[in-house]
Amino acid sequence: MLVMRRRAGESLLVGAGVEIEILEITGTRVKLGILAPDSVLIQRKETQLTRDENIIAARSVRQRSISTLLDKLAVPPDAPANKEPNGPNQVASEMYLAVGGKNIRTAQARPRYE
């Protein structure tokens, strides 16, 4: 790992097309400005780690389990959606579940938060 010291207003170059400028330093935070070609992907490390974890979790679920869950959640096309709350502390809502490129509407009552 290369370690460099920079002050606000100073820059460093990464390769031929990427420039990183230190815009502001306050306490323990550093604000960076990055100039790079559109072909260079720039993202926070924690975003990539979360994405990788989500992909691994999604692959661990069997397709049959997803189908079973969708069957339980699906509202038959001829059945009216439940628009009325089940009690005084609930409000009616609809939930859209998107799996495999299909949107499936389910009606449900959710708790009312005030």
Please give the residue range of the domain that contains residue 82. Answer: 61-111
The answer to whether residue 50 sits within a structural domain is no
pLDDT of residue 70: 81
pLDDT of residue 90: 52
The answer to whether residue 39 sits within a structural domain is no
Backbone angles phi, psi at 106, to 5 degrees: -130, 140
The answer to whether residue 76 sits within a structural domain is yes
Q: Which amino acid is at 7?
A: R
pTM over 0.85, yes/no: no
Chunked mean pLDDT (size 10), the chain, 114 residues: 92 92 93 92 91 86 80 71 55 50 49 47
Residue (of 85, 84, 103, 105) closest to 95 by Cα position: 105
The answer to whether residue 15 sits within a structural domain is no
The answer to whether residue 69 sits within a structural domain is yes
Q: Which amino acid is at 79?
A: A
Domain count, the chain: 1
Through-space distance between the first and last CA atoms of the chain, rounded to whole angstroms: 51
Whole-angstrom distance, CA of residue 88 vs CA of residue 90: 6
Q: Tokens 């069957």 correspond to what residue?
A: 71
The answer to whether residue 92 sits within a structural domain is yes
